[in-house]
Structure 1
Amino acid sequence: MRKVLLAATSLILLLNSMPQATAAPPAVGTATYDLGATAYTLPGTDLKAELTAVVHYPKKLSGKYPVVLMSHGLWDTCIDRKAGQLVSDWPCPAGTEVMPSYRGYDYLGDVLAAQGMIVISIGANGTIPQFGEEQDAGRAALINKHLAMWQKLATTGGGPLAGKVRDHGKVVDFRGHADLMNVGLLGHSRGGRGTLFQAADIHQKDWPAGVRVKAVVPLAPAEPYSPDDDPDGESYDPYRITNIPVAGLIGSCDGAVQGQVYNYLQAHNKAPLFQYFIPGANHDFFNSQWSPGSGQIGAYDDATPAGPGRCKSSTGSSDKQLTETQQREVATTYISAFYRHYLLGDQRMNPVTISKDLPVGHP
């Protein structure tokens, strides 16, 4: 594979370049749909999952747009405001409300929609009761279910979503506008692991008819279990992607996962593979609902403090920690460049990568 290596600018230069990339003009619409907390039975189980999502889209639909589907990570599922705590049950018990983890990427959905994509962020609370690879399979099935519903909606205007996708009460007609043959996936944390599972070579046969995934972003993904950590081992096969461009992101101060997808993908990939190492980024700030700035119950900073304004890095040193806003701007810049290149064919937006020949974090 031909490696692409562009000059990696300093973080300061990157941040200075981002206001233009992150401004969401008024031309972005926000729609939602909710078919119910128990609308979908996860295959091979009696577990019920929700079919819920928020959709960011170009307000004036004209022609076809690539589709980006996002899947959140593992978090408590319900909010008990009276008790001031989170609950991990599904469906949510009486007196509690759903934890809207899927709304934690609205900042990214706005930007991608402004750049000409239809962005669907799905709820995945119903997959939480599963464990290990079973949860990954459940998350993959849920992704495929949403993609199948959208394929039907986009081609015929029918299916389960007919009349259900509404922007402030008004039905949005996506017929002829969502291109399900040009799909990007993004999964954060455990959602990243489930997304890798869904897009893996051996699972591509399970994609719905009329759907093709063309770009995958594991955002601080949970690592698949491997007893010997052999990059070539068969335990990685359910997550191994070789024929689709992949861009992994991980923060140096992530207190939840190591997030490295490069190790077990690079020996086999035939498509471009990128890994972004973000100094000073933690795990939770990628999801605004999990971040203290939201005021949400249970939100916290997962980075280990290493002095005022600094966090303990996975490299053993300390880094200046990014604020919530800075971390999301960095992620948005990398992710939007990747999708614009591989989904929109915008050759001006060449993905920035860290060469495998250079130490991680030091381009």
Structure 2
Amino acid sequence: MAGQLPLVVQAHGSWLACTDPIAQAWACDKGTPEPSYRGYDYLGEQLAKRGFITVSLSADGINMVSFDYGDRARLVNEHLRLWQQLASGKGPLARRLPALSRHVDMYRVGTMGHSRGGKGVMWEASDKHSSEVPDGVRIAAVLALVPVKFDDPEGDHSDTLVTHVPVGVVTGSCDGAVHEAGQEYLDDAEWMTHEPAYSVSVQNANHNYCNADWTPPSPSGDDDSTCPRQELTPDTQQGALTAYATAFYERFLKDDKPSKDVLTGKQRLPGVTSKVRIVQPVNGG
């Protein structure tokens, strides 16, 4: 491997922690850990072909015991700490994975979270919590797929307010879990952010098809669509997400300016109709 490659870290959301739904204790007193983290292989493989290092985290332990979004953020940060050791050529990981040692650019890190994982990566990159990111790591792009937006009743959104990192949000018009809640992340940042923010609402997309493990005919799959007669096929929805995510990371982790056409809607996503929203940075950048 030559040179240093950007890193994209993927985080899934809340789902069964174990393949046996009656499991009560971690680590899986019944069944085995649910492979939710494998549900984004379709995206990770395409990013890898384009020169990104991709890693998908399992949050099954968190799903069994916690609904704290800070826990999801801390999981991401702990993995980034390990990747920073690997990138620097130090520690046991560098010895175990010599092909990656010193070949990861920890100043070009993108994060992606789905559902509750979406809120987790927004939390992790937020202005309020950015000091918790490990030393030597720069979060350069944050993408939230159909993220939840559960804030306290007093309206303090600071835990997920990101104004110093480019943000992308994907929502689906037939989402039976969080509806269009993800749009609120851009509402929080408007008139405040110093980096561009984009959202795309994919018409007739649902919540679960973002993760192939949550998609029928997977044993734990479930179709949550609110418009089953019009819903996109899993392949079409995942293809659209791949096109958008690839453009987002190409633009902000590789400074590939033509990729911006997908983010602005100038270049249409194949096979779908989308509504695009853009929040311009206050500094005009």
| TM-score with structure 2 setting the length | 0.87
TM-superposed CA distance for 1:344, in Å, is 1.1
Could you list the per-position Cα deviations for residues 235-255 of structure 1 after superposition, in whole angstroms to 9, with x for gaps in the alignment?
Answer: 100110001100000000000
Question: Which of residues 231, 255, 262 in structure 2 aligns to 1:321?
Answer: 231
Question: In the alignment, does 2:17 pair up with 1:62?
Answer: no
Of Structure 1 and Structure 2, the greater strand share is in: 1
Is 2:283 aligned against 1:361?
no
Deviations 1:261-308 (A, max 9, x none): 222222321110101000010000000000003x32x311001246xx
Q: Which residue pairs with 2:246 in the alignment?
A: 336
Q: 1:219 to 1:347 in 2, by over 3 A?
A: same
Alignment partners' CA distance in 2, 1:100 and 1:278: 26
1:294-333 CA distances to partner (integer Å, 9 max, x unpaired)? x32x311001246xxx2xxxxxxxxx31000000000000
Q: What SS class does the counterpart of residue 342 from structure 1 fall into?
A: helix
Counterpart of 1:212 (choices 138, 142, 147) is 138
Contact preservation (8 Å) 2:264, 2:276: no
State the partner residue of 1:274.
Answer: 198
Task: Provide the C-alpha distance between the structure 1 equivalents of 2:23 and 2:224, rounded to a whole number of angstroms.
Answer: 19
- From 37, 46, 58, give the equivalent of 1:123: 58
Aligned residue among 224, 232, 247 for 1:302? 224
- 1:91-130 CA distances to partner (integer Å, 9 max, x unpaired)? 111x511101000000000001111100010011122222
Shift of 1:89: 3.6
What is the match of residue 282 of structure 2? Answer: none
Could you tell me which amino acid in structure 2 is paired with residue 217 of structure 1?
A: L
| Correspondence for 1:151 | 84
Match of 1:67, SS? strand
- Structure 1 position 176, deviation (Å): 1.4
CA distance in 1, matches of 2:168, 2:3: 27
Cα distance in 2 for residues equivalent to 1:183 and 1:361: 27
Q: Which residue of 2 aligns with 1:265?
A: 189
Deviation at 1:163, TM superposition (A): 4.8
8 Å CA contact 1:64–1:177 kept in 2: the answer is yes
Deviation, structure 1 residue 86: 5.9
1:194 aligns to what?
Answer: 120
In structure 1, what residue type is equivalent to 2:275?
A: G
Stretches of structure 2 that go unaligned for 5 or more consecutive residues are 267-273, 278-285
- Look up the SS of the partner of 1:328 in the other structure: helix
1:361 is displaced (CA, Å) by 3.3
Tell me if structure 1 keeps the 8 A contact 2:199–2:276: no
2: distance between equivalents of 1:225 and 1:88?
Answer: 28
**Which residue identity lines up with residue 238 of structure 1 in the other structure?**
D
TM-score for the superposition, normalised by structure 1: 0.69
The residue type equivalent to 1:324 in the other structure is: P
Shift of 1:62: 1.5
CA contact (8 A) 2:200 2:276 kept: no
Tell me how far apart the structure 1 counterparts of residues 13 and 103 of structure 2 sit (CA, whole Å). Answer: 28
SS of structure 2 residue aligned to 1:338:
helix
CA contact (8 A) 1:77 1:89 kept: no
In the alignment, the residues of structure 2 paired with residue 282 and residue 273 of structure 1 have an alpha-carbon distance, to the nearest angstrom, of 22
Which has the higher Rg, Structure 1 or Structure 2? 1
Secondary structure at the counterpart of residue 78 of structure 1: coil
How far apart, in 2, do the equivalents of 1:216 and 1:115 lie? 18
Over the matched positions of the two proteins, sequence identity in percent amounts to: 37
SS in 1 for 2:163: coil
Paired with 2:13 and 2:177, the residues of 1 have a C-alpha distance of: 11
Greater share of helix: 2
CA contact (8 A) 1:68 1:185 kept: yes
Tell me which moved more, 171-180 or 106-115: 171-180
Matches within 5 A, 1:65-104: 65-80=5-20, 85=21, 87=23, 89-93=25-29, 95-104=30-39
Residues in 2 aligned to 1:219 and 1:116: alpha-carbon distance in whole angstroms: 22
Q: Which amino acid aligns with 1:138?
A: D
**Where does residue 159 of structure 2 map in the other structure?**
238
Q: Across the two proteins, how many residue pairs are aligned to each other?
A: 265
Letter of the 1:136 counterpart: Y
Counterpart amino acid of residue 99 in structure 2: D
Aligned to 1:254: 175
